[in-house]
Amino acid sequence: MSKSFSYREVYEQSISRPDEFWGSAAEKILWTKKWEKVLDGGNAPFYKWFSGGELNTCQNALDRQIAEGRKDQAAIIYDSPVTDTVKTITYGELLDRVSIFAGALQNSGVVKGDTVIIYMPMIPEAVVAMLACARIGAIHSVVFGGFAPNELAIRIDDAKPKMLISASCGIEGKKVLPYKPLLDEAIRIASHKPQHCVLFQRPQVAADLIAGRDIEWSVFIQNAKPAACVPLAATDPLYILYTSGTTGKPKGVMRDNGGHAVALKWSMEHIYDVKPGEVFWAASDVGWVVGHSYIVYAPLLHGCTTILYEGKPVGTPDPGAFWRVISQHGVSVLFTAPTAFRAIKKEDPNGDYRKKYNIACLRYLFLAGERLDPDTYFWASDLLKIPVIDHWWQTETGWPIAANCMGIEPFPIKAGSPTKPVPGYNVQILDMDGNVLPNGQEGAVVIKLPLPPGCLPTLWRDDKRYLEYVTERPGYYVTGDGGRFDEDGYLYIMGRIDDVINVAGHRLSTGAMEEIVAKHKDVAECAVLGADDSLKGQVPVGFVVLKAGVERDAREIVSELVGMVRAELGALACFKEAAVVKALPKTRSGKILRSTMRKIVDGKDYVIPSTIDDPGVLTAIEASVKTIGYGKKD
């Protein structure tokens, strides 16, 4: 498949003849035993891809690449401004480290089907541990380094790991965070006790080891011999990744080996238009789905060089951090979150730091993880003069649902839209009664079953909870987002369905209001939420962060914002209040904590989320809410 095929031809084949389409894509993966059936719907809605087939994901990511001549090519560039370190690890070196660590896992009794929790910062050892598990068929569950002990304990009890792999510390900007006290407390709280903990000692902090349970990384691998790849069924689990659930108990998204490898390999060529040997940078963390898919697995499956970046978009040391990495390492494609670019825009609104570096190597900027507001899109596009591509997906799907597929047929970009559904995803818009809505009408965004390869086949040991995704609208996977198609078939995601507010009987999208507010010349980023109102049911309340250097009167800016929303949406929007704040509360992956902010606005009790980047921001939000007449009454 190449750009000689139109998007329409490729997409229609993927929907009408999925066996043929994905069978062809699977030929790009090395199988130790060919599949018997591409798509097995015998137990729908629990679909299986490539049933009967056998492969090993680590073999495809490393051994196969070396066999094809990549032994001396860089597999990983570890770039850590927080430790002033840059290291290159070749495919050959990475295979040696992975196979030895896999042998050490086997020596300690870890076998195919066992689970292993990895609780690590952004260091090469995290990738080594993931691939070593994949090599021997152990199921890894990466938990974001620094998660609170209670949250880690919940994941320990659900995954029941035989072993836990960690490091002595993580580094958040200029702050060193010791992991061992968090780890010890989590194990103390958990009902399930891992047999062993392997600790990688970083020079910044030396962790105290508990005799009989804890093993230092270098001691652990001392007498290990390289482990061979264990053949795995295509349907065997590769990993578990926990994502937050509405009940408070996290959901263990399970990923299989076969469909995952096929989909990710396909996506590198056809969505990201990246070639083997090129440098691909996903500026995320291995604790999130982007890190799993596009820091570790997809680039290596495709023979690329991947960047493991231990730093921030600003502050490590300045807003030019991303430009320095791109220039220094020759990055062809960058994938990050809109939040990262909003942070850069806030600190360097004129893009002065960009001018210090030659980044002519960069062909595309891909953004995902939250809605890309048009203002940030235009700012990045004007600054970089390359395609800035919004694309949309979820932890559950593991790879993009909608994108401008640069490797098939690039389309003109429309700000605010992730363009069109990716081949394999039959995206539809339904009304409250389950009817398919015509283009132009907003409703629930769903995906007609079966989901393509690479998406979750179920939740870890929780088939019943998985069914909640696919039984609310029988025959469809419910994304939880609202949106519409326009007259050209472009998809617009307007945010979570619960972000649609009802103002005096009018259903209004807070996402649409955010787009308007973000256009203001002084606004770096914003959030608009629905607040309970005794008269109208709900009314919108805005929070705005101003660009660096703006010193105008906040009341004057708020007045202008109210006027902008009124001019574009009309008086019925009832947008009358906004607070200027120094920062919005976010998860460590950069998503704005809207549900927590809504509780603060409505004066309700809330629990500080374990994923929060800076809990102190919530205190500031509470204070600002009171200045505009909301929140808890004294």
- On whether both 516 and 469 belong to a single domain, the answer is no
Structural domain count of the chain:
2
**DSSP annotation of 436:** B
CATH classification of the domain holding 621:
3.30.300.30
Residue 441 to residue 483: CA distance in whole angstroms: 8
> End of a domain among 494, 513, 534?
494
Considering the domain boundaries, does residue 379 fall inside one? Answer: no
pLDDT of residue 497: 72
Q: Quickly list DSSP for 492-524.
A: EEEEEGGGEEEETTEEEEHHHHHHHHHTSTTEE
pLDDT of residue 477: 97
**pLDDT digits 0-9 by tens, 349-370:** 999 999 999 999 999 999 998 7
Residue 82 to residue 88: CA distance in whole angstroms: 17
Residue 124 to residue 308: CA distance in whole angstroms: 7
pLDDT of residue 478: 95
> End of a domain among 468, 494, 520?
494
- On whether both 545 and 607 belong to a single domain, the answer is yes
Considering the domain boundaries, does residue 363 fall inside one? Answer: no
- On whether both 476 and 428 belong to a single domain, the answer is yes
Q: Which amino acid is at 25?
A: A
CATH classification of the domain holding 3:
2.30.38.10
Residue 402 to residue 387: CA distance in whole angstroms: 16
Considering the domain boundaries, does residue 509 fall inside one? Answer: yes
Please state the pTM of the whole predicted model.
0.86
pLDDT of residue 277: 98
Task: Give the structural domain span for 622.
Answer: 504-627
CA angle 157, 159, 163 (to 5 degrees): 95
Considering the domain boundaries, does residue 205 fall inside one? Answer: no
- On whether both 567 and 613 belong to a single domain, the answer is yes
pLDDT of residue 246: 44
- On whether both 537 and 478 belong to a single domain, the answer is no
- On whether both 533 and 566 belong to a single domain, the answer is yes
Give CA separation, 206 vs 95, 126, 173, 209, 345, in Å: 27, 18, 19, 9, 37
Q: Tell me which residues of the chain have a pLDDT lower than 50.
A: 1-2, 246-247
- On whether both 516 and 581 belong to a single domain, the answer is yes
pLDDT of residue 247: 45
Q: What is the 3-state secondary structure (H, E, C) of 255-270?
A: EECHHHHHHHHHHHHH
The answer to whether 250 and 244 are in contact (CB under 8 A) is yes
- On whether both 513 and 489 belong to a single domain, the answer is no
> End of a domain among 469, 494, 519?
494
- On whether both 470 and 541 belong to a single domain, the answer is no
